[in-house]
């Protein structure tokens, strides 16, 4: 029987709460199958930093690399916590993992589940995937500040876009579009960000030659936010840079019924490094400990993880269990654990 080595990073805030439910579902769906998940838990995040001063040590990183995949809850403390002023958990932990493990595809599907109303009056069929570049753009940390704290301060963040980095994610997006409805939308801001914009635009045009059956569209990011609300069914695959993708996918989560439903995968397509699956949302300090966190995004991330590992049948079963649970959700709010239990119960053999 197959053994999958899974690194589990529960993290901070609601992270451990939703990961517990995701693990419950993973255990349920694999209980009768011949694949065994061997889990290693990593204590990482703001909590670990406050205890030990460590963010992500070289040993942590090497140990994580020994795994086949990673399941992450969320990391990050309460915004503005003075004790975390110099910690920078997001850069030093989350982004470091994405960069070191070469997660150049940040895959963020958005689907209006059957029976899910969402905030839009007439949303139509929403089923698209944002392919967010994961290792470049304004996230690289190529910036600095001079005359800091003075009236003459100049603070820069440089967006790095390489031909290599843009091409590989654009290729992935076209291949994904081929397997879906064959519509691809590049989202950028080519009217203002003329250098990076031209590289993205040209790359899409060049890769499109090899995919004549994929219909290619372009939107400026500001206009894209309009259509995500007024006509989200126009989208199939959206390919975009790291920062635009971050912003669009919180909006996409909101229009498809809430950020508590939005799952994601940080994919290293070549498989040299483990891919990492996590909800789109953060550690939600405002609701941590209240039982209000929706674990569905974390559970959906387990479905993406299973699919990535080639465990299609298990992935489909988890997705179906989520769909069934959502279609039967009543008006009465349920706790994190109640939702996890209900979805896991649908998977018991």
In terms of Cβ atoms closer than 10 Å to its own Cβ (0-12, 13-18, 19+), residue 192 is exposed
Q: Compute the least distance from the CB of residue 244 to Mn ion, in Å.
A: 11
What lies within 8 Å, CB to CB, of 98 at 6+ separation is: 106, 134, 135, 266, 276
Establish if 293 lies at the interface with ligand NAD (CB under 6 A). yes
195-204: long-range contacts at Cβ-Cβ below 8 A with a sequence spacing of 24 or more? Answer: 195/161, 196/137, 196/159, 196/161, 196/241, 199/161, 199/163, 199/166, 200/161, 200/166, 200/170, 200/241, 203/163, 203/166, 203/167, 203/170, 204/170, 204/239
3-state secondary structure of 284: coil
Per-residue CA distances from 93 to 53, 83, 90, 175, 252 (Å): 13, 17, 6, 30, 25
132 annotated as belonging to a binding site for a ligand:
yes
Angstrom distance (rounded) from CA 278 to CA 132: 14
Residue 95 touches which of ligand NAD, ligand IPM, Mn ion, none (Cβ within 5-8 Å per kind):
ligand IPM
Establish if 280 lies at the interface with ligand IPM (CB under 6 A). yes
Q: Which of 95, 105, 237, 344 binds ligand IPM (CB under 6 A)?
A: 95
The question of whether 24 is a catalytic residue gets the answer no
The question of whether 222 is a catalytic residue gets the answer yes
The question of whether 325 is a catalytic residue gets the answer no
Establish if 281 lies at the interface with ligand NAD (CB under 6 A). yes
- Exactly one of 139, 172, 241, 325 is catalytic; name it: 139
Residue 110: Cβ within 10 Å count: 26
Establish if 175 lies at the interface with ligand IPM (CB under 6 A). no
Angstrom distance (rounded) from CA 29 to CA 125: 28
Angstrom distance (rounded) from CA 188 to CA 240: 6
222 annotated as belonging to a binding site for a ligand:
yes
The question of whether 39 is a catalytic residue gets the answer no
Q: Compute the least distance from the CB of residue 137 to Mn ion, in Å.
A: 13
Backbone angles phi, psi at 226, to 5 degrees: -65, -55
Establish if 284 lies at the interface with ligand NAD (CB under 6 A). yes
Question: Between residue 5 and residue 24, which ones bind ligand NAD under the rule CB under 6 A?
Answer: 14, 18
Establish if 344 lies at the interface with ligand IPM (CB under 6 A). no
- Exactly one of 5, 81, 148, 222 is catalytic; name it: 222
Establish if 286 lies at the interface with ligand NAD (CB under 6 A). yes
Among all residues, whose Cβ is closest to Mn ion?
Answer: 246
Backbone angles phi, psi at 29, to 5 degrees: -75, -20
Binding site for Mn ion (CB under 5 A): 246
Q: Compute the least distance from the CB of residue 12 to ligand IPM, in Å.
A: 11
What lies within 8 Å, CB to CB, of 62 at 6+ separation is: none
307 annotated as belonging to a binding site for a ligand:
no
- 246 or 278, CB closer to Mn ion? 246
Per-residue contact flags (x/-) with ligand NAD for residues 60 to 99, judged by CB under 6 A: --------------xxxx-x----------x---x-----
What the block records as the tokens of 96 is 């470091």
The question of whether 172 is a catalytic residue gets the answer no
Q: Which residues are catalytic?
A: 139, 189, 222, 246, 250
Binding site for ligand NAD (CB under 6 A): 14, 18, 74-77, 79, 90, 94, 259-260, 278, 281-287, 293-294, 297
Give the annotated binding-site residues for Mg(2+). 222, 246, 250
Binding region: 98, 108, 132, 222, 246, 250, 282-294
């Amino acid at each position: 029987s197959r053994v999958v080595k899974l690194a589990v990073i529960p993290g901070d805030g609601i992270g451990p709460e939703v990961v517990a439910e995701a693990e419950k579902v993973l255990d349920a769906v694999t209980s009768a199958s011949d694949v065994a998940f061997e889990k290693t838990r990593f204590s990482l995040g703001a909590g670990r930093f406050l205890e030990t001063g460590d963010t992500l040590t070289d040993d942590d990183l090497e140990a994580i690399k020994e795994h086949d995949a990673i399941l992450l809850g969320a990391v990050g403390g309460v915004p503005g916590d003075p004790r975390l002023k110099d910690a920078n958990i997001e850069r030093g932990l989350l982004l470091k993992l994405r960069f070191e493990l070469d997660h150049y595809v940040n895959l963020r599907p958005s689907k209006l589940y059957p029976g899910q109303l969402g905030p839009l009056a007439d949303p139509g069929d929403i089923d698209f995937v944002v392919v967010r570049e994961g290792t470049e753009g304004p996230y690289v940390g190529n910036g600095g500040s001079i005359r800091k704290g003075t009236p003459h301060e100049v603070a820069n963040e440089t967006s790095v876009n390489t031909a290599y980095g843009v091409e590989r994610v654009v290729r992935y997006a076209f291949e994904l579009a081929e397997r879906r409805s064959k519509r691809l939308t590049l989202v950028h801001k080519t009217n203002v960000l003329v250098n990076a914009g031209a590289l993205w635009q040209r790359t899409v045009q060049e890769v499109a030659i090899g995919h004549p059956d994929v219909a290619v569209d372009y939107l400026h990011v500001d206009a894209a936010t309009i259509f995500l609300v007024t006509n989200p069914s126009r989208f199939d695959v959206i390919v975009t840079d790291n920062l635009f993708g971050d912003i669009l996918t919180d909006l996409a989560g909101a229009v498809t019924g809430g950020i508590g439903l939005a799952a994601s995968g940080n994919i290293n397509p070549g498989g040299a490094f483990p891919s990492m699956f996590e909800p789109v949302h953060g550690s939600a300090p405002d609701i941590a400990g209240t039982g209000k966190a929706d674990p569905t995004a974390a559970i959906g991330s387990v479905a993406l993880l299973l699919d990535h590992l080639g465990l299609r049948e298990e992935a489909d079963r988890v997705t179906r269990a989520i769909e069934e649970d959502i279609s039967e959700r009543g008006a009465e709010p349920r706790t994190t654990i109640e939702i996890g239990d209900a979805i896991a119960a649908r998977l018991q053999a």
